[in-house]
Amino acid sequence: MRILGISAHYHDSAAALLSDGVPVCAIQEERLSRRKNDAAFPLAAIEWCLDYGGLDPGELDAVVFYEKPMLKFERILTMALRGFPRSWHSFPRAMKNSLGGKLWVKGLISSQLGVESPRILFAEHHQSHAAAAFLTAPTRRAAILTADGVGEWATLSLGRGSIGGDGAVSLELMRELHFPHSLGMLYSTFTAYLGFPVNEGEYKVMGLASYGKPSFEPQVRRMVRRTADGALALDLSYFEFHESARRSFSDRFVAELGPPRDPLDSIDPATPEGSRYADIAASVQRVLEDILVDLARSLKRETGLEDLCLGGGVALNGCANARIASESGFRNVYVPSAPGDAGCALGAALVADRLHFGQPHRETPDHPYWGPPIDAQELSRIAREDGLELEELPSGSELTDHVARALAQGRIVGWMQGRTELGPRALGNRSILAAPHSSQMRDRLNRGIKYREEFRPFAPAVPVGQAERFFKLPPGGARLGRFMSGVFPVKPEWRDRLAAVTHVDGTARVQTVDPEMAPRFHALLEAYGALTGIPVLLNTSFNLAGEPIVNRAVEGYSTFRRSGIDLLVAGEKVVRKPRAVAVAPEAVA
């Protein structure tokens, strides 16, 4: 049975192909269209998935969309009527922005793919999140917590999943929280207030939080109240997102916290204004974490299970995930590489396969590499045309030793291997790598390549077997690190020697690299460790600010030429900039 899953029209559109219950491929539209967070109907992603799977649309048994458009329409209409007349002006805009072409999705799929409508299915949004989290994790019984901004009505769900001996899958929903009460919207409102773009600047709030103290916690707690049944409710007098497309917070919100930050102003936590923003970020972060830990604990009490699967965009909050792992009582916490809406393309396909068609469960290979493979020959061609010298280092250790030496000499490396990652993190297949030891390296990357706020940390990668030498992981922490889903303390004695990847509060978003999942990346870390004594590398996504992560060799090459990257590796091919034309990072800044 062949099933195509699609997510689209909100942000991060994606497509995924499932064949006989096992994922074949999945990719976000942005990686192909080269428009960051592309929300358009993912025609390029669909075309690539079908091509990769060697299928015509007519050979698909089903096409599944990741949410139910009519339910979403009902929610937008209901909210507009509830807020009438205040909300009336924003309604057409909300329709256009939030709904886009969604209501007509069936017609769109049918006309674009030539798939007749009985084969077009719709999964519920949070069910797609739950399936993406549970059915890709190495567990057969788990509690499931999903949280995001909003799908149709649900913004948070608590449930459990099980896989019987015969492979029969059940996903049981225990409780659900409805819009406008939403942890994702709470965090996004603070993201907007702090002057960052909503749906992509949330991790900046988390980074900024480390610079502050949660001194505004009482104010934030007034905005979000816990209810008797253990859920939460927003005090809507502080918010406007539910009735206005113009602004997500109200005058009362501003009266409580002070004026919002202008997105065009720079932000420096050392100034009084900057430290107020950092304190506000720390306060909302603390409240979010406390609520999530509390919800996870209640799920633990209620289900008595050992494993917890987290889904939804909120599961990208690595600080919250780490606290859930250490404080909720679950032995294992699983977060997929794409817990947000992109991963719902795969989740929706899994829902259709296991629940709609009742197919027996089949294990999903435990890795994030579902996109296009790198074509090293393409790099050879481009480098030759551009007049740069290309080396080929065929045997495994020759390549990793060579690259490790360059890294130890302070070179910045663009590293492309195998298939692209699904989800927002580069996990060693489309990564920029560098020595992690000095804060100068962090500044060089920020100024010469990533052009981003100084307060945002870079992440370290370490062989999973050596992670505990450098980082304080809670039980189950190594698993969270598999897809870089947790933020953990760097051991104090290593902080000076890991300065480029240690955040101001002494933490790091660690990737624990499994040799079976990423053998060449693991070998590179080991080779670097053999040279320097520290098998840790700085690993940041291979892209320039504002661009999606590179996909093909040509994009890697273009990024390499436009930035302070010294060495580019695709498969076993290596290109370096001649010294004379090397772009000195300082010159770029």
Indicate the residue whose CB is closest to Fe ion.
148
Pairing relationship of beta strands 511-513 and 459-463 according to DSSP bridges? parallel
Residue closer to Fe ion, measured from CB, 188 or 326: 188
Which of 129/576 has CB closer to Fe ion? 129
Closest CB 378 distance from Fe ion, rounded Å: 34
Which are the contacts of 216, defined by CB distance < 8 A and separation ≥ 6?
Answer: 257, 279, 280, 282, 283, 284
What distance in Å separates the CA atoms of residue 294 and residue 298, rounded to the nearest whole number?
6
- Is residue 12 at the binding interface for Fe ion, with CB under 5 A as the rule? no
Count of beta carbons in the 10 Å neighbourhood of residue 506: 14
Query: What are the E-state strand segments in 99-258?
Result: 120-122, 141-147, 154-163, 169-178, 224-226, 232-234
Task: Please list every residue from 55 through 114 that binds Fe ion, using CB under 5 A.
Answer: none
Between 87 and 182, CB nearer to Fe ion: 182
- Closest contact distance (angstroms) between CB of 396 and Fe ion is 40
Q: Among the candidate windows 272-280, 337-345, 521-529, 577-585, which touches Fe ion by CB under 5 A?
A: 337-345
Instruction: Indicate the Cα dihedral angle 243, 246, 249, 252, nearest 10°.
Output: -90
d(CA 565, CA 588): 11
Cβ atoms 310, 339 nearer than 8 A: yes
Location of structure tokens 């663009």? 414
**For Fe ion, which is the closer residue by CB, 212 or 336?**
336
Window contacting Fe ion (CB under 5 A); options: 148-156, 186-194, 255-263, 374-382 = 148-156
Q: Beta 573-576 vs 390-392: how paired, if at all?
A: antiparallel
DSSP single-letter state for residue 140: S
**Candidate ranges 57-65, 167-175, 292-300, 335-343; the one touching Fe ion (CB under 5 A):** 335-343
Q: Which range in 216-224, 260-268, 338-346, 478-486 contacts Fe ion by CB under 5 A? A: 338-346
412-440 residues labelled b (16+ CB within 10 A) or e (exposed): bbbbbbbbbbbbbbbbbbbbbbbbbbbee
Give the interface size with Fe ion as a residue count (CB under 5 A).
2
Least distance from Fe ion to the Cβ atom of residue 344, Å: 6
Q: Pick the stretch among 41-49, 322-330, 333-341, 571-579 that binds Fe ion (CB under 5 A).
A: 333-341
Shortest gap between Cβ of 458 and Fe ion (angstroms)?
A: 27
Question: Interface with Fe ion by CB under 5 A: which range of 80-88, 146-154, 400-408, 517-525?
Answer: 146-154
Length of the chain: 589
- Strand 332-334 and strand 307-311: the pairing is parallel
Q: Which is nearer to Fe ion, 154 or 517 (CB)?
A: 154
202 binds Fe ion (CB under 5 A): no
CB 150 to Fe ion: min, Å: 7
User: CB of residue 547 vs Fe ion: minimum separation in angstroms?
Assistant: 24
Q: Which residue lies nearer to Fe ion by CB, 341 or 566?
A: 341
Which residues, other chains included, contact 258 with Cβ-Cβ below 8 Å and sequence gap of 6+?
A: 276
3-state secondary structure 37-72: CCCCCCHHHHHHHHHHHCCCHHHCCEEEECCCHHHH
The smaller minimum CB distance to Fe ion, of residues 30 and 341, is found at 341
Q: Which residues pair with 307 in a beta bridge?
A: 332
At closest approach, how far in Å is the CB of 153 from Fe ion?
Answer: 12
Closest separation between CB of residue 312 and Fe ion, Å? 5
Residue 134 belongs to what H/E stretch?
helix 125-134
State the nearest-atom distance from the C-beta of 36 to Fe ion, in Å: 18
Whole-angstrom distance, CA of residue 403 vs CA of residue 525:
10
User: Among residues 341 and 401, whose Cβ is nearest to Fe ion?
Assistant: 341
Q: Toward Fe ion, which CB reaches closer, 315 or 459?
A: 315
Interacting span for Fe ion (CB under 5 A) from 147-155, 256-264, 320-328, 449-457: 147-155
What's the farthest any 2 CA atoms get from each other in the chain? 70
Burial of 358 (0-12, 13-18, 19+ CB in 10 A): exposed
For Fe ion, give the closer residue by CB, 177 or 459: 177
The smaller minimum CB distance to Fe ion, of residues 315 and 490, is found at: 315
Check residue 243 for interaction with Fe ion (CB under 5 A).
Answer: no
Choose the stretch contacting Fe ion; rule: CB under 5 A; options: 101-109, 145-153, 415-423, 571-579: 145-153
Which of 422/441 has CB closer to Fe ion?
Answer: 422
Is 159 or 428 the residue whose CB approaches Fe ion more closely?
A: 159
**Under rule CB under 5 A, residue 148 binds Fe ion:** yes
Between CA 171 and CA 166 the distance in angstroms is: 15
State the minimum distance, in angstroms, from the CB of residue 313 to Fe ion.
6
Question: Residue 582 — left, alpha, or beta (φ > 0 → left; ψ -120 to 50 → alpha)?
Answer: beta
Closest separation between CB of residue 148 and Fe ion, Å?
Answer: 4
Region binding Fe ion by CB under 5 A among candidate stretches 65-73, 142-150, 376-384, 390-398: 142-150
Q: Under the criterion CB under 5 A, does residue 341 sit at the interface with Fe ion?
A: yes
For the CB of residue 528, give the shortest distance to Fe ion in the complex, in Å: 37
- Point out which residues bind Fe ion (CB under 5 A): 148, 341
